[in-house]
Amino acid sequence: MHRAWCTEIAAPPLTAPWWLPGGHLQTLWPLTRKPALPALRRERWDTPDGDFIDLDWLPAGDAAAPLVVLFHGLEGSSRSHYARALLHAAAARGWRAVVPHFRGCSGAPNRLLRAYHSGDSTEIDWILRRLHARAGGSALFAAGVSLGGNALLKWLGEREHDARDVLAAAAAVCPPLDLSISGHALGRGFNRVYSAHFLATLRRKALAKAAAHPGTLDPRRIRSATSLYAFDDAYTAPVHGFAGADDYWRRASSKPWLRAIAVPTLLLNAANDPFVPPAALPTAAQLSASVRFECPPTGGHVGFITAPFPGALDALPQRLIAHFATHSS
């Protein structure tokens, strides 16, 4: 374990209540506690390669206020519980906020054969640079959750000091830093419940693409994929330029890039996250001085629910906002 050197959490504490023990309960219970979906304005951007993405914005606020962008997790969206909570927290502070949807995650299938993946730093770069222009000189902050956090961290490390021209600060919540470790962990024990949940929509989308682009994919392999490894080997890897699942998981992992990050970045991983085993967490030597690593003992995978009963989801967004606020000037 890495508890000996991890930075302790600042207020508000991200400590699970006594009546919610274990990483699995702390992962699943927040799904029943989703805040109300705030009023959002949808905008569609055409991509440079002829596709599109949809972005959901909070209603227009102060044009001089900071702008927070949230990159969601695997099969997530602006409707995810963590997105709703962060949008509410940003609105309460008077900040602007937007959730860009990865391709195919906004409720509308994207045009191309490709979709999105954990290491798509090129897409992150295009989105952030366009949002930086929209920020109008105000601070731009980026948070990424799970898959979105991994992609954001990889972009931060690849761009190093150039990223500071775009972002004032960043945060990654429960990113699968080593995709091989996390991917294989999701194929064992109770974690297969999560994999089955993801695969239900991933397979359906991939089969629709196979039908729309005849001859490009093997529908039988996609249909028979009962693990994320098998799905990534049959669809994610080949359509995004990787040799296979092993090659994808190795090249898309953000852990090797953490040492190069120059933007002030909060890295937050719960020690009992069932998606991110302790072996996936970085050592002190693997982090740059710009990365603050916090690993509370509880929280599950993007759970971080707090008392009182039946639980609240405001501690995590407040932690992110507090981190961003220290870099808002």
Stretch 96-105: mean pLDDT:
98
Q: Residue 116 and residue 205: Cα distance in Å, rounded? A: 12
Half-sphere exposure of residue 149, counting CA atoms within 13 Å on the CB side?
26
Q: What is the pLDDT of residues 1-27, one digit of tens each?
A: 333 334 433 445 789 999 999 999 999
Q: Which of 81, 132, 301, 323 is catalytic?
A: 301
**Amino acid 61: pLDDT:** 76
Predicted model pTM: 0.95
SS3 234: helix
Choosing from 132, 273, 290, 323, which is the catalytic residue?
273
> Which pLDDT score is estimated for 12?
57
Catalytic status, residue 273: yes
> Percent of the chain having pLDDT more than 70?
96
Note the pLDDT of residue 5: 35
Mean pLDDT over the full length of the chain: 94
pLDDT for 113 beyond 80: yes
- What's the whole-number mean pLDDT along residues 159-177? 97
Q: How many other C-beta atoms lie within 10 A of the C-beta of residue 218? A: 13
pLDDT of residue 3: 35
pLDDT category of residue 205 using cuts at 50, 70 and 90? very high
- Identify the three-state secondary structure at position 62: coil
| 266-308 pLDDT, tens digit each | 999 999 999 999 999 999 999 999 999 999 999 999 999 999 9
Give yes or no for residue 33 having a pLDDT over 70.
Answer: yes
Q: Is it the case that residue 128 has pLDDT exceeding 70? A: yes
Is the pLDDT at 38 greater than 60, yes or no? Answer: yes
Per CATH, the homologous superfamily of domain 23-178+253-325 is Alpha/Beta hydrolase fold, catalytic domain (3.40.50.1820)
Confidence of residue 116 (pLDDT cuts 50, 70, 90): very high
Q: Is pLDDT above 80 for 238?
A: yes
Q: Check if the beta carbon of residue 155 is closer than 8 Å to that of residue 124.
A: yes
Q: How far apart are the first and last CA of the chain?
A: 36
CA 293 to CA 92: how far, in whole Å?
26
CA distances from 37 to 77, 103, 106, 305 (A): 11, 21, 15, 18
In this predicted model, which residue has the larger pLDDT, 5 or 233?
Answer: 233
Tokens encoding 140: 């731009």
The residue-averaged pLDDT of 125-149 equals: 97
Catalytic residue of the set 138, 146, 195, 253: 146
Active site residue 62: no
- Is a pLDDT exceeding 80 seen at residue 160? yes
The CA angle 290-168-171, to the nearest 5 degrees, is: 60
> Averaged over 151-172, what is the pLDDT?
98
DSSP-assigned letters across all residues of 128-166: HHHHHHHHTTS-EEEEEETHHHHHHHHHHHHHGGGGGGT
Answer yes or no: are the C-beta atoms of 302 and 146 closer than 8 Å. Answer: yes
Domain ranges of the chain: 23-178+253-325, 180-251
